[in-house]
């Protein structure tokens, strides 16, 4: 460290990575709203749900990459920020605001995820119940055909003839 231009660039990169993380978290939050509508919609398909999950996975990967880069750069410039608080007061203040916003967004996203998980669980419970009904119907139809074809002894048929 020591080159003011380089130091300023590192500090700017820290701020920009936090700004990018805020953008990505907002995208995830909006996609959670889409996912909720998909889970509520009776006509939605598993592909619709998968699409929302794929979008979020991509953004989570980007956040992970940003976090890794942020940690490396922060560890590099931490002494600079500590030693030159006055010079970087505005950047530090902005980064603190961004961290608060990230914390709020993360909490809101967790709440959305919990609500969507409940909806997903309800949807799967409904699907399981439908599958049980279908299996019972298929079993009843199969028994009927077997009975009609003489594969089962029926107590209602007169076999004395």
Q: Which pTM does this prediction carry?
A: 0.76
| Residues written for the chain | 161
100 part of a folded domain: yes
Angstrom CA distances, 113 to 10, 103, 116, 134, stand at: 34, 15, 5, 31
Supply the CATH number for residue 67's domain: 1.20.58
88 part of a folded domain: yes
- The reported pLDDT for the residue numbered 45 is 87
- The reported pLDDT for the residue numbered 123 is 78
Examine the pLDDT at 54 and tell me if it is beyond 90. yes
155 part of a folded domain: no
Range of the domain at 44: 4-123
140 part of a folded domain: no
**How many domains does the structure of the chain reveal?**
1
- The DSSP output letter for 149 is T
Q: Please name the residue ranges forming H helices in the chain.
A: 4-40, 46-83, 89-148
Within its chain, how far is the Cα of 140 from the centroid? 41
pLDDT digits (tens, 9 = 90+) for 83-138: 999 999 999 999 999 999 999 999 999 999 999 999 988 877 766 666 666 766 66
pLDDT digits (tens, 9 = 90+) for 21-50: 999 999 999 999 999 999 999 888 889 999
113, 32 contact by CB (below 8 A): yes
Examine the pLDDT at 18 and tell me if it is beyond 70. yes
Angstrom CA distances, 75 to 6, 8, 54, 94, stand at: 15, 15, 32, 18
73, 13 contact by CB (below 8 A): yes
Q: How confident is the model over 139-155, as a mean pLDDT?
A: 64
45 part of a folded domain: yes
86 part of a folded domain: yes
12 part of a folded domain: yes
30 part of a folded domain: yes
Q: Give 149 or 96, the one with higher predicted confidence.
A: 96
85, 92 contact by CB (below 8 A): yes
């Amino acid at each position: 460290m020591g080159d003011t231009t380089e130091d300023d660039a590192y500090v700017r990169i820290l701020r920009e990575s936090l700004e990018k993380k805020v953008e990505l978290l907002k995208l995830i939050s909006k996609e959670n709203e889409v996912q909720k509508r998909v889970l509520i919609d009776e006509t939605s398909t598993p592909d619709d749900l998968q699409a929302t999950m794929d979008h979020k996975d991509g953004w989570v990967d980007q956040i992970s990459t940003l976090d890794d880069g942020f940690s490396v750069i922060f560890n590099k410039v931490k002494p600079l920020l500590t030693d030159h608080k006055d010079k970087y007061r505005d950047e530090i203040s902005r980064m603190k605001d961004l961290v608060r916003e990230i914390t709020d967004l993360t909490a809101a996203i967790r709440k959305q995820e919990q609500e969507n998980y409940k909806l997903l669980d309800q949807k799967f419970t409904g699907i399981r119940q439908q599958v049980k009904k279908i299996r019972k119907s298929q079993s009843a139809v199969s028994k009927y055909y077997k009975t009609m074809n003489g594969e089962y002894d029926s107590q209602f048929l007169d076999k004395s003839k």
